[in-house]
Structure 1
Amino acid sequence: MSALMVAFVRVHDLDAYNREYLSLAHPLIQKYGGKALVVSEKVNKLQGTLPDGKFVILEFPSLEKAEGYYYSGEHQALLEKGNPYFSSDSIIVEHQMTGDEG
């Protein structure tokens, strides 16, 4: 079963965010078998309340890999380093394929 990390990311300083967090997070995501499925600022709310920000969905091969990435010392250090440049709301969910999905 794969896992999805879903986040709304609010960037306060784009240059610093790209330099101090994103450029280092990409290889770390790949290290845990993850890949970006969606990165978009165009979110059409249908109902309820959504946080502001860029919508990001990352896919990992398992819940363990997703949690391993998020809670790793490397990622926690990146979050701390990037804290002045962005904030986010995020969750991890297990993704179980249904019979309709190959």
Structure 2
Amino acid sequence: MSALMVAFVRVHDLEAYNREYLSIAHPLIVKYGGKALAVSEKVKHIQGSLPEGKFVILEFPSMEQAEAYYYSAEHQRVTENGKKYFSADSIIAENQLHKG
């Protein structure tokens, strides 16, 4: 069963974020079998409480692969460095929607 990583990302320095974080994180996402399903700065809030920021959905083949990506030494290192350029709220959820 696939897993979704959903994040609201607040970028403070776009140039540095792209150079110092995204350019490294994207190949790591692919390395762990992930792919971007949605990225949008046009988010219309319709109900409840949500954090501000760019809306991002990544899909991984399984919860294990999503967690392996997130907790990998490479991702933790690039994220710690990237905190100078962005902040985020994120979750990983098992996709229980059956395809077919």
Quickly name the TM-score band, shorter chain normalised: over 0.9
* Count of aligned pairs between the two proteins: 100
Q: Deviations over 1:11-31 (max 9, x none)?
A: 000000000000000100000
1:88 paired with 2:81, answer no
Could you tell me which residue of structure 2 aligns to residue 4 of structure 1? 4
RMSD between superposed Cα atoms in Å: 0.7
Moved over 3 A (4+): none
Normalised to the residue count of structure 2, the TM-score between the two structures is 0.97
The residue correspondences of 1:1-102 to structure 2 (distance < 5 A) are 1-98=1-98, 101-102=99-100
Q: What amino acid is aligned across from residue 64 of structure 1 in structure 2?
A: E
Normalised to the residue count of structure 1, the TM-score between the two structures is 0.95
Q: What amino acid is aligned across from residue 22 of structure 1 in structure 2?
A: L
Q: What amino acid is aligned across from residue 32 of structure 1 in structure 2?
A: Y
Structure 2: distance between partners of 1:50 and 1:28: 27
Q: CA offset at residue 36 of structure 1?
A: 0.2
Worse-matched range after superposition: 42-51 or 83-92: 42-51
Q: What amino acid is aligned across from residue 77 of structure 2 in structure 1?
A: A
Structure 1: distance between partners of 2:86 and 2:25: 13
